[in-house]
Amino acid sequence: MKKLFFYMILMLVSVQIQAQKDFQGMAVYESKTQAPKFEGMRGNRDITPEMQKNMEERMKKMLEKTFILNFDKSASIYKEEEKLEAPGQQNGMRIMFGSLTGGGGTFYKDVKTKSYTVDKEFMGKEFLVVDSLPKLDWKLEQETKQIGGYNCFKATAVKQASKTDFRNFRPKNNDDKKEETKKTSGDTKTNFTDNFEIPKEIIVTAWYTPEIPVNQGPENYWGLPGLILEINDGTTTILCSKIVLNAKEKVEIKPSKKGKVISQKDYDETVIKKMEEFREMNRGRAGGPPPPMGR
């Protein structure tokens, strides 16, 4: 009898271990970013009010994205949902900012090794960014709310703002604009990026649910005792709209291998350099295609 009882306990433990090993989930996230106003273009005689409105509407659509997060106990892949685009939408602006707004590749996170891999295409060149996961000093709050039927807890953190993420751009105040105008008083036209700045730090608010005990979340967010269902950094909100746990069809969770391997720091330096070149080439013009990447 004792042997039978021991055997049953052993079988139960084996089943639980296997269930944990096979555990997998899928979460759908809707990402929305406040579109910047192109107020700096109003002084440009080549930009009509209709053109300005059209640019703002196109930017707004570019900043509304849907992402899929597939995750297990230790790793995840986060990728923008593919959508068909109308002919002619791949213009210079979209090429320039497409990979700078949270999309543009498969983001793989391994919370055991605390590393990530993401493939990015920037100005026609493929990169494979491999680096350590950023560790945020999360402050766990007592405030709670429900998201999609899950009980969620609030957490906050302060992080450095990425200079290569267009979503971090903030409008300059009037004094900054006046100072910039003095410096460029000889120019008859203004590039719209002249009207924005990037803060050094941003406050991040997260909502996570311990009911799904995985150390995962959208983009490069992680490190909380439960799946992160919502992220807000002041201008961008990423909200989970659907969760499926242990679906019959499993998804292969592994990093991409395409592109030139590069660290995040080196990738950022490459992007910043090209953005500066793009800025100078387009100063005094309404727009145009970005300069080609060097080999």
Q: What is the pLDDT along the chain (295 residues), one digit of tens a residue?
A: 444 344 334 333 333 334 455 799 999 999 998 766 655 545 555 667 777 677 667 777 778 899 999 999 999 999 998 766 555 555 445 545 555 555 568 999 999 999 999 998 888 889 999 999 999 999 999 999 999 999 999 999 999 877 777 676 666 665 554 555 555 445 544 555 565 677 788 899 999 999 999 999 999 999 999 999 999 998 899 999 999 999 888 999 999 998 999 999 999 899 888 878 877 776 655 444 555 554 4
- For the whole model, what pTM was predicted? 0.75
Non-local (6+) Cβ contacts of 247 within 8 A are 24, 26
Residue 39 DSSP symbol: G
Nearest to 150, CA basis, from 68, 205, 213, 203: 213
Cα–Cα distance for residue pair 268/24, rounded to 1 Å: 32
Residue reference for tokens 């080549």: 46
**DSSP letter for each residue of 99-157:** GGTT-SSEEEEETTTTEEEEEEEETTEEEEEEEEPP----EEEEEEEEETTEEEEEEEE
> Contact, 183 vs 117, CB < 8 A?
no
> Contact, 227 vs 244, CB < 8 A?
no
Non-local (6+) Cβ contacts of 113 within 8 A are none
Residue 197 DSSP symbol: E
